Structure 1
Amino acid sequence: MKKEILTVKGYNTDQVIEEFCLYFGSDAKIVFSNESVRVVVVEKFFFRIKNDVAATVIFELRSQDIMDVHIIVAGGSDMMGFTFGVYKSMIKKICKFFERYGV
């Protein structure tokens, strides 16, 4: 398991979350939403190790243009416990999305 916390400032938070879901397409699903928190789960199957990796991304909205993004990635290991770097690959992909927002 690996986690990251990022802060996005100066962008419309609703638009960032919508673009995030579009970026990951059918792999991303909003599972919870209220005024100050949005929770998105991203799940991807890796054929190379024949296993799933899942990321829970929690968008904590502080204002209309400031939010904290909590990323937790787990899974992607085989029966022997080898991950082959799959969860690191997933967290890199998610962090790369946020690079366009100066994070």
Structure 2
Amino acid sequence: MQGVEAGQSDPDNPFENFVRSLRVDHQRIDELEARIDNVLQRLSALELRPPQGLIDRVMTRGQVDGLLETSYRLRALGDGVAAAASTAEVVIEIEKHSDGTLLVLPARAT
């Protein structure tokens, strides 16, 4: 037990450094995802409207269709954020061999 504690408290322990690096990367990814979700939520809340000028009051059928299609796509961005928030956790398993080498197994959803 003392050997394990000593190994974990060693600042040069490559496994502990690797795990610490994974934690930092995970936190940075979570923050980035939150910022992206925020941008998508704000985009999905945008409201499009036709031009307000007197000359621009008449819009062609194609312009109306384009405006509607854009509004639907913007709203779908917000729906995608809600769906992505409920994704499963990912597990990355790591094996430490007796010679000190590490084997990182492929990630899999839980």
TM-score (ref. length: structure 1): 0.34
Q: Which has the higher helix share?
A: 2
Q: For CA contacts below 8 A with separation 6 or more, give which structure has more relative contact order.
A: 1
